[in-house]
Chain A
Amino acid sequence: MRRFGSWALVGNVLVPLVWACGAAGVSPDAERVRLFERDQKLIQTLVESGIELSGEDDPLRRAAQCNKLADRLAREISQAATAKDSPRVKRFGEHLQDLLTVGVAGNLVEARGSVPAGSPQERKLLEFGKEVKQLEEKLGRTNRGDGKEVD
């Protein structure tokens, strides 16, 4: 009986101490600050892109701005894939799709309607279309399967 009591006492002291040490290591607030610091540059890019977009009337330039943003997001996806952070790859993949369909393609369609055939702007438009295609191909290589980087 004495032996049982000793074990109970040791267990009851050790378990809360181990738990307390674990609690000291992982704090939701510290984690929140860490993630904000990690994402600070991306957040800054998103805000500055918003400022640029807000003052831009030319749909081709708006598309270019969105494409720049999509490229930035693609880099984040690639990093997340390297870190095997599948949820982040998935979330950012959805954002990227929105940027490419709404921001890039939507503005390109609008620009196409106003650019005369054979003009320098049309050449710019076609070149830009190639850039977008390259980005899509790069993404196809990066995000094949379950967020695994192939290339």
Chain B
Amino acid sequence: MKCDPCRSYLLNAEDPSHPIEPFQAHLEECAACREWQVRLLQIGVNVRRLPVPSSTAKPELIRQILHPPLPARPSPPQARSWKWRWLAGGAVAAAVLISCGAWLGNLLWNSVLGPAEGPQVQVRDNQGGQPPPQGGRPSRKEKPVPAIATGAKASDLLIARLIQCDLRLARANSPRKRALAVADLASHLERELQDLARIAGARPLEKMARVYDKVVREGVVPRCRAVPAGQRRQVLAPIIDRLAQAERNAQRLARQRPSAAPVLRSIAAAAGEGKKQLRDLLQQEA
């Protein structure tokens, strides 16, 4: 595949952080497109941070719809002029007060959740050019997971991805496919945990951090060991890169968000240990 169709797809995709299979494969091969994807995601995140200027256009339009101009009726010109001044003044005051309301709402919201320790992003910005999870060729029955943009639906999206990985594992007929599918499973979980660590403290994530450790220790490492020697370098290298990236991201995030640091450190330790064991495996082979 060439770069242009891939970039067109990313521009039009609902969730460019998780491209569908043919484009994902291209991204894995093409560093320029990966870089382009990262920049696109960063633009997406930054656009949401832009302040929206207040406007009276919307109330004015609503007013025009609700109160269409009445047929002309004789009235003293001076009185109508005062009425319009009051309306305009009221609209401006409403805009100012609504802005204050928005500010107050955010203030209350933050006080409910606790102080933010770093930027809150709802869409993962693929920091550091972390490659998206990759897998073997999808099975005939495998369906692309639909992108769900809002944070509230992230849990459903994770469930859909994990089920797709389980289905791949249920039908995987080679050690290579199993290693790739279980590595994807671990990646999906790790990414979700890191995203949640940005908005939640350690408590809701403690148990799942142990599950991540388990999937790396009992899933990824043994399945990679089972890959035949001739295929190991090709299969293991991207998995090692991904584990290394997960370790770095978790360590960096632990510094930024001390409230979630214990969980993030245990994720980093699990990824680091997995990476070390797989590197040793490759070195033994060499």
- A residues bordering B, Cβ < 8 Å? 1, 4-5, 8-9, 11-13, 15-17, 19-24, 27-33, 35-40, 42-44, 46-51, 53-55, 62, 65-66, 69, 88, 91, 95, 98-99, 101-103, 106-107
Contacts and interface: CB of A to CB of B under 8 A. Distances in A.
Nearest to A30: B113
Given A66-B170, A99-B167, A102-B141, A55 B223 contact: yes
Contacts of A28: 122, 150-152
B178 A54 contact: yes
A13 B97 contact: yes
Indicate the member of A11, A17, A24, A42 with the most B CB atoms within 10 Å: A24
B55 to A, nearest CB: 16
B204 A36 contact: yes
A50 B102 contact: no
Nearest to B155: A35
B97 A12 contact: yes
Contacts of A23: 101-102, 105-106, 108-109
Contacts of B9: none
A48 B84 CA distance: 67
A114 to B, nearest CB: 13
Interface stretch (B65-73, B129-137, B206-214, B266-274): B206-214
Interface of B: 82, 86, 89-90, 93-94, 97-98, 100-102, 104-106, 108-109, 112-113, 120, 122, 139, 141, 143, 150-156, 158-160, 162-163, 165-167, 169-172, 178, 181-182, 185, 189, 192, 196, 199-200, 204, 207-208, 211, 214-215, 218-219, 222-223
Contact of B170 (A35, A38, A91, A103): A103
Contacts of B112: 24, 27, 30
The 3 A-B pairs at the shortest CB distance, nearest first, are namely: A16-B101, A23-B105, A24-B108
A27 B170 contact: no
A69 B170 CA distance: 11
A95 B160 contact: yes
A91 B211 contact: no
B218 A51 contact: yes
B79 to A, nearest CB: 9
Contact of B167 (A5, A17, A30, A103): A103
B102 A20 contact: yes
22 contacts: A4-B86, A8-B86, A19-B101, A23-B108, A27-B109, A28-B150, A29-B113, A32-B155, A35-B154, A36-B154, A36-B155, A43-B208, A44-B207, A47-B162, A50-B165, A50-B219, A53-B169, A54-B172, A54-B182, A54-B219, A102-B170, A103-B167
